[in-house]
Amino acid sequence: MKSQFRQVALIGKYHAAVTGAQAGSTRTALEDIAHFLSSQGCEVLFERETASTVGITGYTTLDVPAIGAQCDLVLVVGGDGTMLGIGRQLAQYGVPLIGVNQGRLGFITDIPLDHYRATLTPMLRGEYDEDYRSLMHARVVRDGHCVFDALAMNDVVVNRGATSGMVELRVEVDGHFVANQRADGLIIATPTGSTAYSLSAGGPLLHPSTPGWVLVPIAPHTLSNRPIVLPDSCEVAIEVVAGRDASANFDMQSLASLLHGDRISVRRSQHRVRFLHPRGWSYFDTLRKKLHWNEGH
């Protein structure tokens, strides 16, 4: 039985400078997967930057928006960082994504490169589990004008400057004043991002199907400032009250300098990222492997 996906796009890690042996191994992996997909009856296309960076020729190439509009499935070969960037761009198109991990197992790129044939064969026939991840839509408003607009799959982070002391941030939820927080910063994380920076700052793990966010202070001045889980239907606003050289980060997209009075508003995006996993996939299996639970027992 052949693939139920007709046009399949391959996207590799291309934002970093891929050179020498790394480019060779990436090209070999991508070409190997492309041959396999062709053998399953798929028409294979490559993301344009991926093909040019690693030197792949002989395939139709498209930019990311064209892939979203035209393809039935996208295979992302790389790590979670690559998937975050692509997921944000493709969410509006509803195209499903499968992550093949070149290095260590990822939270959202969960198919090891060594086992991709055995794993993908039934998935291409339609034997898979679907997993939708919410996105945050963040805006930075300065003097009544939007100066930055971004989607984030992991988190929105407001950080103090590298050389200065704490920042003071006024936090509101749905227009209701919560607190003025003095801290090194503040994280608003999705369930997907709850295993990233939020976790290292003491935040809880949120199951991906939880319709919530977690608000986590970074090294708060007042120790009673604890992480709080909020419904993702709310709008969170953070205003910079005091502190020099504060910055905002939206996944890996940065606004280098925030000014006093800047407001970062975060609400749930209308778009979600659609992942496909092998049948029987479990979030808890990933947690166990990534966080090394049960080792030594």
Q: Per DSSP, what are the bridge partners of residue 101? A: 78, 112
Give yes or no: 80 in active site: yes
> Rounded to an integer, what distance in angstroms lies between the CA atom of residue 223 and that of residue 154?
25
* Residue tagged active-site, from 63, 72, 80, 174: 80
- The pair of structure tokens assigned to 142 is 């300065």
Q: Which residues are catalytic?
A: 80
